[in-house]
Amino acid sequence: MKNDEPLISVIVPVYNGQDYLAGCIDSIENQTYENLEVLIINDGSTDRTPAVCEALEASYDNVRILNLDDEGVSAARNIGMREAAGEFITFADADDRLRPEMIRLLYDCIVETQSDVAGCKFIMWSSDAEWERLAGVPGEHKTSGQTKIYDAGTYLKEELLSGNSRCWSKLYRRRLIEKVRFTEGLTIGEDMLFLVKMLPYVEKIAETDYPGYGYYRNPTGTINRKFTSRYMDQITCWQLAREEILRMDESLDPQVSALWMMGIMLAAGKIAMLPADERHDCSEYIGICRERLKEAMKIPGAYGRLSVGYRVKTMMFRVFPQLYLSLYHLHKKAD
C-alpha cells in the first residue's frame, strides 16, 4: 500500500534530545501507515543530538535532517512545514512516541469523514517499560470507535477552549495549513495560537477517542523547569489568541479572558517557586502579571467564570502580590 497512498510528512523538532530522539523516530518508522517522510529539525543542539540525527538518517531512507541555530520550536516547525512534501502533515515532539496505528487511524478518519483535521487522545508514560506496555502491538485498538465531527466554531468552544490545544496528536491536510504558521519567538502556548489561527480555514475537524500519541513525562521538560522570562509567553499567547478569537466570536470573550487570567496566575505561580532573593529580581515580571490581570478582570463576566479557588488567588495576587507569592511558595514547598 505504500505507493498507493498519499505521502504524510512527520515534523519532529529537537533540541538536546540525544536520549529520546531515536525512540521517537523508531515509533514513527513502526507505523502501520507506510508512506511517510520524517523531517527532523535539529535546532542548534549542543549535546550528541547531531550524531543521533546522522545515525537515524543513515538507518532510514525516509528521514531528512534540517539544521537551525537555536531559533526555537516554532521556527523549527515552520521550516519543517515549508520543506514538507506530504499531502498531509503531523507533528511529534522528540521525547514523545506514537502508538503503531496512530497515523493510519487519523488518515482513515480524515478520508471517511472528509475532514480537514483529525485528532486523537494521548497517553502519558515515564519509562521504556511503561511505554512498551501501553503502546501495544498493531491491531490492538483501545478505543470505542467513537468519532466526533466539529465545525470550526464548535471545535473552538468544545475542544480548544476546553484544553485540547495541542498541535501534536493531529493530522492535517496540507492545503489547510499552508497559510498558517507558528508564531516565532514563543515557547509556551504556541500550539494553541497555531490552532486558533488555523480555524478560519477549517470546515470540519474530527476527533477520535483512540489514545494514539504517547506523551513523555519528561522530568527536565518546560513545565518542570524553574521560572525564566519564557514563561511569560503563555500570557502573550493568550493575549494574541483573544484577539483572533474575538474576530470569530465576540461572545467568547468572558471564557477566553478567564483562561487568560489562569495563564497569568500560572506564570505568577512559577515566580512564587523561586527563592526570595530571585523573586525580588522578578519585580518587572510580577508587575506585568498584575497589569495584565487588571486588564482581564475588567472584561465583563470573565472573573465570574473562574473557579472559587482561582477567584481568591487572582484577587489576593492583585491586591497583595508579595504576600501571595510568599504564601504560595510556602504552600508548595510544604507539599
Determine phi and psi for 100, rounding to 5 degrees. -55, -30
Per-residue pLDDT, averaged over 231-235, amounts to 93
DSSP string, 212-261: EEEEE--TTSGGGSPP-GGGGHHHHHHHHHHHHHHHH-GGGHHHHHHHHH
Handedness of CA 55, 59, 63, 64 (dihedral sign): positive
Q: How confident is the model at residue 1 (pLDDT cuts 50, 70, 90)?
A: very low
Please state, in angstroms and rounded to a whole number, the distance separating the CA atoms of residues 273 and 328.
8
Q: Is 185 left (phi over 0), alpha (psi -120 to 50) or beta?
A: left
- Cell readout for 36 is 511517510
Predicted confidence (pLDDT) at residue 225 exceeds the cutoff of 80: no
Using alpha carbons, select from 176, 181, 216 the residue that is nearest to residue 92: 216
CB-CB contact of 332 with 279 (8 Å): no
What integer pLDDT is reported at residue 141 of this predicted model? 53
Q: Provide the percentage of residues in the chain whose pLDDT is more than 70.
A: 95
> What secondary structure letter does DSSP report for 172?
E
Q: Provide the percentage of residues in the chain whose pLDDT is more than 90.
A: 86
Look over the chain and give the mean of its residue pLDDT values, rounded to a whole number. Answer: 93
Determine phi and psi for 193, rounding to 5 degrees. -65, -40
How would you classify the pairing of strands 205-216 and 97-98?
A: antiparallel
At 153 the three-state DSSP class reads: helix
Residue type, 68: L
**Model pLDDT for residues 7-60, shown as the tens digit of each residue:** 999 999 999 999 999 999 999 999 999 999 999 999 999 999 999 999 999 999
Predicted confidence (pLDDT) at residue 224 exceeds the cutoff of 80: no
**Model pLDDT for residues 155-207, shown as the tens digit of each residue:** 999 999 999 999 999 999 999 988 899 999 888 999 999 999 999 999 999 99
Predicted confidence (pLDDT) at residue 3 exceeds the cutoff of 80: no
| Assessment of whether the complete model's pTM goes beyond 0.85 | yes
Please state, in angstroms and rounded to a whole number, the distance separating the CA atoms of residues 282 and 289.
11
**Model pLDDT for residues 99-138, shown as the tens digit of each residue:** 999 999 999 999 999 999 999 999 999 999 999 888 876 5
Radius of gyration of the chain (CA): 21
Q: How confident is the model at residue 246 (pLDDT cuts 50, 70, 90)?
A: very high
Predicted confidence (pLDDT) at residue 223 exceeds the cutoff of 70: no
At 54 the three-state DSSP class reads: helix
